[in-house]
Amino acid sequence: MMIEVVDLTKSYGPIRALRGISFNVAPGEIVGLLGPNGAGKSTAMKILTGYLQPDDGIVKVDGLDVLTHRREIQARLGYLPENAPLYPEMTVQAYLLMMANLREIPPEEHLLYLSRAVYASGLADRLTQPIGQLSKGFRQRVGLAQAILHQPKLLILDEPTIGLDPTQIVEVRQLIRRLAPQSTILFSSHILSEVEAVCDRVIIIINGQVKADARLDELAATSDAVLVLQAKTDGVEQALKSLAGVTEVEPISVPDGHPAYRVHGAEEDNLCPAIYNLARRENWPVRELRRDVRTLETVFNELATAISNEEIEEEIVEEEMAMEEAQS
């Protein structure tokens, strides 16, 4: 495994930023760490890169423990922090040369390494410009160039497209994709479409916990079917519920106002053929019958809503306990 994280916890005083997260990343994977603001993504990345100590848990990069092999790990990885510390008065070239020295790349190899990174990040015509005079998109490219300079096995990119305009976002995504064949990439984002565009796999972190870890196609897969009728028909819900494999039938609203139902199944089976046969037998005025494919956005919203409900319930329980204590 390129990354192994087991039961990782981290608190900042009373704030429990990571509440026991576990995940693995295999060599060559592009994995998106997705979560709302404050979910714990940056904290996890800072621990992986050795900039922050974990409270508890096991964290290994390329088989090495972050607690005991910080330097070796840092030599193997490239890191684009959330706020890349760039030096505004330095030219792009001087900055990358400084980074090459810090990375202990032998001087005779500087030209080779620099030109590779500069070419990959599209910086060739900006080399002599001071970093402070670059647009945000180009500064982000400088950050990426320093992260890939020493050809690391692992790239950790914290919100690489934040604050960029749509064209720059597309360029940075393409750059990440171009880098992919040589590296394992873990990058964070709170933009669902971005993760969908770039990653093979997504790990959803909400409130310091891993709430989903799956390939994108697996996450969106569902056995649900959606049935839309031309007109209101009696007994539909009941009849659907009696079908083998159906666990729940939920009336839903569709844009044109026709009667519609989402039919949940227990297995990964396709329920549509059975629903089709039933509808023909019963002479239902079927307008549409399809398998329901969830977008990552639906999954994410479902998870986020479930979490906020859980939190509200926790708060109620805590309040009740406090009241009971006060009364006794």
Cα angle vertex 172, ends 32, 179, to 5°? 70
From the CB of 10, what's the least distance to ligand ATP, in Å?
Answer: 8
From the CB of 80, what's the least distance to ligand ATP, in Å?
Answer: 13
Q: Determine how many CB atoms are found less than 10 A away from the CB of residue 180.
A: 17
Does residue 35 interact with ligand ATP by CB under 6 A?
yes
Segment near ligand ATP (CB under 6 A); pick from 31-39, 142-150, 247-255, 258-266 = 31-39
Residue 296 structure tokens: 């990552």
- Round to whole Å and give the CA distance between 65 and 33: 21
The DSSP symbol for 324 reads H
Question: Is there a contact between 23 and 5 (Cβ–Cβ < 8 Å)?
Answer: yes
Q: Phi and psi dihedrals of 263, rounded to 5?
A: -110, 115
C-beta closer to ligand ATP: residue 37 or 283: 37
Binding residues for ligand ATP, total number by CB under 6 A:
13
Segment near ligand ATP (CB under 6 A); pick from 30-38, 240-248, 275-283, 313-321 = 30-38
Place of tokens 């160039």: 145
- Round to whole Å and give the CA distance between 122 and 144: 10
The DSSP symbol for 1 reads -
Does residue 78 interact with ligand ATP by CB under 6 A?
no
Q: Which residues contact 36 (CB under 8 A, 6 or more apart)?
A: 190, 206, 304
C-beta closer to ligand ATP: residue 239 or 299: 299
Segment near ligand ATP (CB under 6 A); pick from 36-44, 239-247, 248-256, 281-289 = 36-44
Work out which of 37, 68, 238, 242 binds ligand ATP, going by CB under 6 A: 37
- Round to whole Å and give the CA distance between 145 and 92: 10
**Which x/- pattern, by CB under 6 A, does the window 225-264 give for ligand ATP?**
----------------------------------------
Does residue 49 interact with ligand ATP by CB under 6 A?
no
Segment near ligand ATP (CB under 6 A); pick from 35-43, 215-223, 229-237, 262-270 = 35-43
Strand partners, 157: 80, 187
**Which x/- pattern, by CB under 6 A, does the window 178-217 give for ligand ATP?**
------------x---------------------------
Q: Phi and psi dihedrals of 310, rounded to 5?
A: -60, -45
C-beta closer to ligand ATP: residue 56 or 217: 56
**Sheet containing 209-215, strands listed edge to edge, beginning at the edge strand earlier in sequence:** 77-80, 154-158, 184-189, 30-34, 201-206, 209-215
**Closest by CA position to 28, among listed 1, 50, 63, 47:** 1
Does residue 19 interact with ligand ATP by CB under 6 A?
no
Work out which of 42, 49, 121, 140 binds ligand ATP, going by CB under 6 A: 42
Does residue 39 interact with ligand ATP by CB under 6 A?
yes
Interface contacts to ligand ATP, rule CB under 6 A? 12, 15, 17, 35, 37-43, 82, 190
